């Protein structure tokens, strides 16, 4: 289907089903129950899942295929957001022109940064991209205040020109009248599920982004990018110019980041310089490695995993812990709360850090490798049973 192999089509359909039914999947616990705080099916968070999914899928095209580790991808995210908000200020609150401009501007930005940074490889490339991103951050934060509104952040004001704004146009972000914040809530007994227009638009765009990424992975161009990672010397002596290949990959992943930035602004028409900070660049690196760099689905898993931790674990506080351990004798209860306390609330980074280390050490291929190992183990058990039944032997070579 759509020029994909059967396996890739199934993968895409699984991703499509997961995103389509995410409001159900992420809200498994009834409203008001003790476990309800683990529900992640509210519009804000679901939007962030898919937006950061797009960001990580794009980053993976550069890092996963060519092996060039960019530490400055947040710059494109920020550029995308600023461009989108400017479209809201100049035209109207329709998200379509905003998203298109975000992708174009971040692409142009990526051509410049990539052209300079790709003159070096390895750690020097990473440092160059980091330097560029920090420069962009500094520019956005202070020097370019007329464009970026400095530390306040860029937002839409009532006295903005908004040339395409009609008298009865919506004043919130919308897609040809469909408001991004529009949410239909389905109550089923104690359960409650939110279906948000903005989320579904982002999810659809993510599916397109994933589809394009699969096509790139399976193309001759994608093969060349893998070859860049494997052996540049052999590439050069096989008549292939590595420079345009790496630049193209850099620009494509920059455009993905800009798209993510544009979508962020479309969900919430704000853009601040902190979106470009190096911690944001580091986050997408973590997402990709945690999920599995160079795999198709890994970056999305990683993005979901990190965003879940950031939003759910950070909300658990000592009161919640005391509820959990209430069944224990008093002294023990306090002790358990004392033990767990550093890993929750503001300490969620600690939990994430430990998990990240465990994954990198024991599953270098990320969560995807974990899944493959489980699948292989299950299959191994099945075939072990089949083997004893037929006791088939392979001919030796």
Given the rule CB under 8 A, which residues bind another protein?
A: 3, 5, 212, 215-216, 218-224, 226-227, 229-231, 233-241, 244-245, 248, 252
Could you give the 3-state DSSP secondary structure of residue 396? Answer: coil
Q: How many CA atoms lie within 13 A of 35 on its CB side?
A: 7
| Nearest distance in Å: CB 70, another protein | 19
CA gap 9, 22 in Å, rounded: 19
Given a contact cutoff of 8 angstroms between Cβ atoms, the answer to whether 120 and 187 are in contact is: no
112 touches 183 (CB < 8 A):
no
Residue closer to another protein, measured from CB, 170 or 254: 254
What is the separation of C-alpha 308 from the centre of its chain, rounded to a whole number of angstroms? 12
DSSP conformation letters of 53-73? HHHHHHHHIIIIII----S-T
Question: What is the closest distance, in whole angstroms, from the C-beta atom of residue 24 to another protein in the complex?
Answer: 33
Select 88 or 245, whichever has its Cβ closest to another protein: 245
Contacts 24+ apart (CB under 8 A), 280-283: 280/74, 280/77, 281/70, 281/71, 281/72, 281/73, 281/74, 281/75, 281/129, 281/130, 281/133, 282/71, 283/74
Nearer to another protein, 141 or 245 (CB): 245
Q: Measure Cα distances from 72 to 353, 368, 387, 393 in Å.
A: 21, 25, 52, 53
Cα separation of 300 and 90, whole Å? 33
What's the min distance (Å) between Cβ of 206 and another protein?
18
Compare residues 235 and 363 and give the one whose CB is closer to another protein.
235
| Alpha-carbon radius of gyration of the chain | 23
Looking at beta carbons only, is 25 or 235 nearer to another protein? 235
Smallest gap from residue 221 Cβ to another protein (A): 4
Least distance in Å: CB of 280 to another protein?
A: 27
Q: Which is nearer to another protein, 215 or 349 (CB)?
A: 215
Shorter beta-carbon distance to another protein: residue 230 or 317? 230
CB closer to another protein, 37 vs 236: 236
Nearest distance from C-beta of residue 228 to another protein, angstroms: 10
- Whether 153 contacts 271, CB under 8 Å: yes
Smallest separation (angstroms) from another protein to the CB of 245: 6
Name which of 197 and 240 has its Cβ closer to another protein. Answer: 240
DSSP letter at 118? T
The alpha carbon of residue 19 and the mean position of all alpha carbons in its chain are separated, in whole angstroms, by 13
Distance of closest approach, residue 256 Cβ to another protein, in angstroms? 13
Closest to another protein by CB, 27 vs 213, is: 213
CB of 113 to another protein, least distance (A): 19
What residues contact 85, with CB distance under 8 A and at least 6 apart? 98, 154, 155, 156, 265, 269, 270, 271
Q: Are 134 and 115 in contact (CB under 8 A)?
A: no
**Does residue 292 contact residue 152 with C-beta atoms inside 8 Å?**
no
Exposure class string for 294-320: b at 16+ Cβ within 10 A, else e? bbbbbbbbbbbbbbbebbbbbebeeee
| Nearer CB in complex with another protein: 62/271 | 62
| Cβ 215 to another protein shortest distance, Å | 5
Residue 210's nearest CA partner among 259, 165, 171 is 259
Q: Would you state the torsion angle of the CA atoms of residues 326, 328, 334, 339, taken in this order, to the nearest 10 degrees?
A: -100
Smallest distance from another protein to CB 216, Å:
5
């Amino acid at each position: 289907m759509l020029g994909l192999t059967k396996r890739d089509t199934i993968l895409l359909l699984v991703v499509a089903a997961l995103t389509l039914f995410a409001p159900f999947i992420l809200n498994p616990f009834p409203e008001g129950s003790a476990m309800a705080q683990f529900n992640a099916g509210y519009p804000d968070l679901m939007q962030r899942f898919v937006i950061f999914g797009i960001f990580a899928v794009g980053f993976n095209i550069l890092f996963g295929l060519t092996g060039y580790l960019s530490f400055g991808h947040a710059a494109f995210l920020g550029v995308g957001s600023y461009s989108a908000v400017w479209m809201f200020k100049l035209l109207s609150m329709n998200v379509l022109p905003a998203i298109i401009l975000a992708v174009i501007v971040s692409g142009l930005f990526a051509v410049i940064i990539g052209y300079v940074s790709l003159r070096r490889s390895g750690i020097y490339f990473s440092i160059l991209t980091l330097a560029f991103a920090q420069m962009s951050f500094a520019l956005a934060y202070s020097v370019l205040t007329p464009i970026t509104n400095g530390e306040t952040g860029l937002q839409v004001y009532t006295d903005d020109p908004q040339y395409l704004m009609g008298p009865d146009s919506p004043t919130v972000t919308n897609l040809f009248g469909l408001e991004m914040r529009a949410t239909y809530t389905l109550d089923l007994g104690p359960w409650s599920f939110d279906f948000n227009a903005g989320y579904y638009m982002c999810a659809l765009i993510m599916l397109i982004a994933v589809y394009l990424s699969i096509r790139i992975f399976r193309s001759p161009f994608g093969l060349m990018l893998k070859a860049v990672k494997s052996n540049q010397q052999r590439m050069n002596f096989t008549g292939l110019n590595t420079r345009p290949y790496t630049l193209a990959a850099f620009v494509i992943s920059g455009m993905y980041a800009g798209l993510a930035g544009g979508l962020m602004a479309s969900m919430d028409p704000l853009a601040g310089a902190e979106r470009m900070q190096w911690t944001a660049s580091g986050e997408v690196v973590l997402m990709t490695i945690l999920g599995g760099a160079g795999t198709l689905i890994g970056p999305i898993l990683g993005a979901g995993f990190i965003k879940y931790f950031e939003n759910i674990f950070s909300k658990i506080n000592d009161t919640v812990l005391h509820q959990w351990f209430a069944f224990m004798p008093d002294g023990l209860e306090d002790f358990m709360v004392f033990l767990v306390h550093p890993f929750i609330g503001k300490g969620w980074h600690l939990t994430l850090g430990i998990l990240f280390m465990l994954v990198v050490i024991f599953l270098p291929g990320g969560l995807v490798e974990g899944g493959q190992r489980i699948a292989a183990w299950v299959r191994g058990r099945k075939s072990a049973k089949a083997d004893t039944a037929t006791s088939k032997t392979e001919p030796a070579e």
